[in-house]
Amino acid sequence: MSTAHGARARARIEVTAAIKDEARKQLAAEGAAKLSLRAVARELGMVSSALYRYFPSRDDLLTALIIDAYDSVGEAAEAARDTADAAGPVQRWIAVCEAVREWAFAHPHEYALIYGSPVPGYIAPDTTVPPASRVGLVLIGIVRDALRGPGLTMPPLPAELRPEAERMAADIAPDLPPAVATALVAAWAQMFGLIGFELFGQFHRVVEDRGTFFRHGAGRLAAGVGLR
Amino acid sequence: MSTAHGARARARIEVTAAIKDEARKQLAAEGAAKLSLRAVARELGMVSSALYRYFPSRDDLLTALIIDAYDSVGEAAEAARDTADAAGPVQRWIAVCEAVREWAFAHPHEYALIYGSPVPGYIAPDTTVPPASRVGLVLIGIVRDALRGPGLTMPPLPAELRPEAERMAADIAPDLPPAVATALVAAWAQMFGLIGFELFGQFHRVVEDRGTFFRHGAGRLAAGVGLR
DNA sequence: ACTAAAAAGAGAGCACTGCTCTTGCTTTGG
DNA sequence: CCAAAGCAAGAGCAGTGCTCTCTTTTTAGT
């Protein structure tokens, strides 16, 4: 077991969690750029150098927060999918999109951390890949179900894109037609375009009734993938 | 004239430009977070406090760079529109999208500055609004031209979105049908979703032939607005 | 059960940051 | 011609990430 190694290992887990919690608090309050190791340590009543026993650098702390954020938004998407279980594919798609949007507005700085500009010089380790895929996998699942249920309207696929479309489909969802997989990836990115523009203020003085606007946009994305 | 105020005013303009140039250099090299007033001053052979005569704070320098970046990408979009003058609306739309994408990859840190996460605590002054509108205005212009030329396929507009759609159209392009204006705003945000995801590494191990993928995506956005 | 090794905390220190304040010098305009 | 405004320089403050050394505590092997 992981608790087999006595009191020290247990303490380590607790301290690590406390550091992440405090860091998340500061992240939510001030954003990633103002997240300070020294401030975290100060708040926890420890000296700054002691913190380096748990996270070798500020970037490592950020990486931990990034993974947690991906898991958090992924969980929100999965929960929305499960709640809208009985509804049709389009309704479930929209429900998931709205859940992601709501998560983004509840955790703006964490959203910025994972979907905004990457911290300069920072390179995400491969550890972040699986958590980062969760939202995409939810969307893939909805389309997959639709394929076995009411079917899909096949999106267009020009000849020049066919090789890449087949490669992508084989990579991310071998049971989906290449045209659908391609449209899905595009819709996935476009959804975050809508959310990001709204969250980062680009809709200022442009869109007012943003909830309705987004709901309609999400529906059109679903149509673009072929859901009906 | 602006040169009426003698040598001192001229020097001020030159020094201001030199500061912005050096700042842009550092921005391109290391990103906004590592842009340091002291380093800029050092490189220019002046002491850091002297720089505050030109920009009252780091944020003010960033604001100047943001405005320049918006103007730069706007200019790129306008140039692409003018070059593709003879082509049809869809071709011109795609040309503009590709120009924006190319600008983004030529100036990744400037792109992150204006379309990525806003600097925490930073609030964009209204001075940035007109430059920020230029890309959108180019897209509006293409759709407007299409309306007077080959016509448009009207995008769907649900009843619940009609009031907001009419508000938006009146605000940004009174000569466009509300359904078109709404689809246009969405397509505008979605295009930056595609570009941002590619630029910020979300397509890592997902999309390989990204140029072809984007070209097709831009075309589908055009279709979503009703261009044909 | 004892001891060598590993882990953890504390503190000082380095090089850097944004920003302020004071002190002189130079250009400008009445 | 001379006061006023503009500008540069330097010192200094409070903060940052990170490293190094020193001491104490806990673990693990014989």
- Inter-residue contact B191 to B135 (CB < 8 Å): no
Q: Which residues contact B190 (CB under 8 A, 6 or more apart)?
A: A189, A190, A193, A194, A217, B221
**How does the average pLDDT of chain A come out, rounded?**
94
Q: What is the pLDDT of residues B115-156, one digit of tens each?
A: 998 755 556 778 899 999 999 999 999 999 999 998 899 999
pLDDT reading at A17 higher than 60 = yes
- Mean pLDDT over residues A9-28, rounded? 96
pLDDT reading at B160 higher than 80 = yes
Structure letter (DSSP) for residue A86? T
Residues of A in contact with B171 (CB under 8 A): 205-206
Residues 46-105 of B with CB under 8 A from A: none
Question: pLDDT at position B2, please?
Answer: 41
Say how far A65 CA is from C5 C1', in Å.
Answer: 33
Rounded Cα–Cα distance for residues B228 and B223 (Å): 7
Residues 178-197 of A with CB under 8 A from B: 182-183, 185-186, 188-194, 196-197
Question: pLDDT at position B5, please?
Answer: 67
Structure confidence at residue A227 as a pLDDT band (50, 70, 90)? very high
For residue A51, what are the CA distances in angstroms to A37, A42, A125, B176?
8, 10, 21, 58
d(CA A9, nearest CA chain B) in Å? 35
**Residue B53, CB, less than 7 Å from strand D?**
yes
Question: pLDDT at position A119, please?
Answer: 59
Which of B163, B200, B216 comes nearest A118 by C-beta? B200
Q: Give strand letter and number of the nucleotide nearest A6 (CA to C1').
A: D27
Question: pLDDT at position B43, please?
Answer: 97
Q: What is the pLDDT of residues A107-148, one digit of tens each?
A: 999 999 999 987 555 567 788 999 999 999 999 999 999 999
Rounded Cα–Cα distance for residues B211 and B105 (Å): 12
End-to-end CA distance of chain B: 48
Which of B194, B196, B212 comes nearest A164 by C-beta? B212
Lowest-confidence segment of A80-84, A142-146, B5-9, B96-100 by average pLDDT: B5-9
Structure confidence at residue B1 as a pLDDT band (50, 70, 90)? very low
Q: What is the pLDDT of residues B18-62, one digit of tens each?
A: 999 999 999 999 999 999 999 999 999 999 999 999 999 999 999
**How does the average pLDDT of chain B come out, rounded?**
94
AA identity, residue B22: E
Question: pLDDT at position B3, please?
Answer: 47
Q: What is the pLDDT of residues A187-216, one digit of tens each?
A: 999 999 999 999 999 999 999 999 999 999
Question: pLDDT at position B123, please?
Answer: 66
Rounded Cα–Cα distance for residues A39 and A35 (Å): 8
Residue nearest to nucleotide C29 (CA to C1'): B5
Residue A75, burial from CB neighbour count under 10 angstroms (0-12, 13-18, 19+): middle
Q: What is the pLDDT of residues B200-211, one digit of tens each?
A: 999 999 999 999
Question: pLDDT at position A2, please?
Answer: 39
Please compute, for residue B19, the number of CA atoms within 13 A of its CA located in the half-sphere on the CB side.
Answer: 27
**Residue B46, CB, less than 7 Å from strand D?**
yes
Whether the CB of B174 is below 8 Å from some CB of chain A: the reply is no
Residue identified by tokens 């997902």 is B206
